Structure 1
Amino acid sequence: MLVSIVYDSGYGHTKKQAEAAAKGVERVTGAQARLIAVGTDEISWDALAESDTLIFGSATYNGTVSARLKQFMEDATRTAWTPMAWRNKVAAGFTNSGAQNGDKLNSLITMALFAAQHGMLWVGLDLFPGRGPNELNRLGSWLGAMAQSDDVSPDISPITSDLETAAYLGQRVAEQVSRLTPAA
């Protein structure tokens, strides 16, 4: 099973979330994660069409996804949406911002709507909100993984619980794809 994680990270904090999601994917036997940084890596539309699932990630800027992820979404119209190349693939998302809230929910809604328009099946979190800074899903999201990063090096922020929430999402996505895929 191939899980492509398509993300944008302006300062490196969201990249850490993407890497954590990839680690979670690879906790599932037979699952492989591929990281694709929009704006940096060349987008192989054929490789995305061959993926079993896509996980989208972006920093939240001004209450929505980054301009580079939005450009990826627009570029996908002709290459993936028109032929419905991603129909019935599983999708999920994660986001990060500098504020505790930071309007991250709007970024996840943007990703989920994008996936829905492609006929994809969205997987959210099945974790009750954490009650402290060291618990998974401490920011209380159901639609996808959220993280908060201080204005410091990505070596320091986001905190471990936010990265483990992203890993949990990656693992959950791979497990759902395994459940939906008939045994060979």
Structure 2
Amino acid sequence: MPVTISIAFHSGYGHTRALADEVLDGAASVDGASAHLVDVTSMSDGDWELLARSDAIIFGSPTYMGAVSGPFKTFMDQTSKIWAERGWQDKLAAGFTVSSSQAGDKFATLSQLATLAAQHGMLWVSLGLLPGNNSSKASIDDLNRIGGSLGAMAQANADEGGDVAPPLADRRTAKLLGVRVAVLSKMFQPAVTLQSSSVLEES
């Protein structure tokens, strides 16, 4: 069955957009999956409808001062009506973030994204990669070089634009997150459809 993946993101300086493009490419590379970018700073009725019919939503925000960006937080608050109506219940969710520092308190941002998903009754998809660049034989070119597991983490030099930073290793890591979410969406969708049908038959 075909699945729809949406990447809902905010990008302040182009770095998060660069990652969003990679997540998009990864998700779209899975047979039977369609992937779409949604810039949360310019939400239209069509964008909200797209999120409503998506099988999975991957959230992306830069890490500013140890948290999601202001525009992304505004988007989070705007989903309160959807939360009350359980509109995203049982959709898959995942997340990615980027900061100029290696650590940059990115875990706090991913935790916010995962909490948003949990409040909506969504099912969080982890990165699913072992950490890279953590031994004498490792390299900064390794996948998951930042060592995240809750989601995809990236580092982008503050004096370089999104055309250069984040580096290839971080972009490839983000792309694999997109692949993982799309594959799991295809695996999970029949179970959700069957469960929903059973509930309707019993009610």
TM-score between the two structures when normalised by the length of structure 1: 0.96
- Contact in 1 for aligned 2:95/2:152 (Cα 8 Å): yes
Q: Which residue of 2 aligns with 1:124?
A: 126
Q: Which residue of 2 aligns with 1:88?
A: 90
Q: C-alpha displacement at 1:178, in angstroms?
A: 0.9
Aligned length: 183
Q: C-alpha displacement at 1:182, in angstroms?
A: 1.9
Amino acid in structure 2 at the alignment position of 1:104: K
Q: Which residue of 2 aligns with 1:150?
A: 157
Q: Which residue of 1 aligns with 2:187?
A: 179
User: Which range moved further: 32-41 or 94-103?
Assistant: 32-41
Q: As a proportion of its length, which structure holds more helix?
A: 2
Q: Which residue of 2 aligns with 1:169?
A: 177
Secondary structure at the counterpart of residue 60 of structure 1: strand
Q: Which residue of 1 aligns with 2:8?
A: 6
CA RMSD of aligned residues (A): 1.3
Secondary structure at the counterpart of residue 147 of structure 2: coil
Q: How far apart, in 2, do the equivalents of 1:42 and 1:154 lie? A: 25
Q: How far apart, in 2, do the equivalents of 1:17 and 1:147 lie? A: 8
Q: How far apart, in 1, do the equivalents of 2:141 and 2:43 lie? A: 33
Q: 1:110-129 CA deviation, whole Å, 9 max, x = no partner?
A: 00000000000000111111
Q: C-alpha displacement at 1:41, in angstroms?
A: 4.5
Q: C-alpha displacement at 1:40, in angstroms?
A: 3.2
Report % sequence identity.
Answer: 45
Q: C-alpha displacement at 1:27, in angstroms?
A: 1.5
User: Where has structure 1 moved over 6 Å in runs of 4 or more?
Assistant: none
Gaps of 5+ in 2: 134-138, 194-203
Q: How far apart, in 1, do the equivalents of 2:111 and 2:142 lie? A: 23
Secondary structure at the counterpart of residue 11 of structure 1: coil
TM-score between the two structures when normalised by the length of structure 2: 0.87
Q: How far apart, in 2, do the equivalents of 1:15 and 1:28 lie? A: 21
Within 5 A, what are the aligned runs for 1:13-162?
13-42=15-44, 44-78=47-81, 80-131=82-133, 132-151=139-158, 152-162=160-170
Q: C-alpha displacement at 1:46, in angstroms?
A: 2.2
User: Which range moved further: 45-54 or 61-70?
Assistant: 45-54
Q: How far apart, in 1, do the equivalents of 2:78 and 2:180 lie? A: 28
